[in-house]
Amino acid sequence: MSPSTYSRFIRFLQEDLAISTASIAVALRHREQDPGPLPMILWQYGLITIEQLEQIYDWLETA
């Protein structure tokens, strides 16, 4: 993912899905220890719902 797409992705998480900066930071810390797709980490740790996970993957398909 390019840096500009990544920035838009983080903005989408925060603004459209109302995911807190703290939740994103937690997921990023966990990703350092257990690499994986950020959306899956957010979901695995209960930081997003399955519906939000679907919205994220829909967004990523069009990004």
Interval 21-52: pLDDT, tens? 999 999 999 988 988 999 999 999 999 999 99
- SS3 for the chain is CCHHHHHHHHHHHHHHCCCCHHHHHHHHHHHHHCCCCHHHHHHHCCCCCHHHHHHHHHHHHHC
Predicted pLDDT of residue 34:
84
Considering the entire predicted model, what is its pTM?
A: 0.88
Does residue 3 or residue 34 have the better pLDDT? 3
Token pair listed for 53: 């996970």
Average pLDDT over residues 3-15: 96
Does residue 8 surpass a pLDDT of 90?
yes
Q: Which of 12, 13, 11 is nearest to 47 (CA)?
A: 13
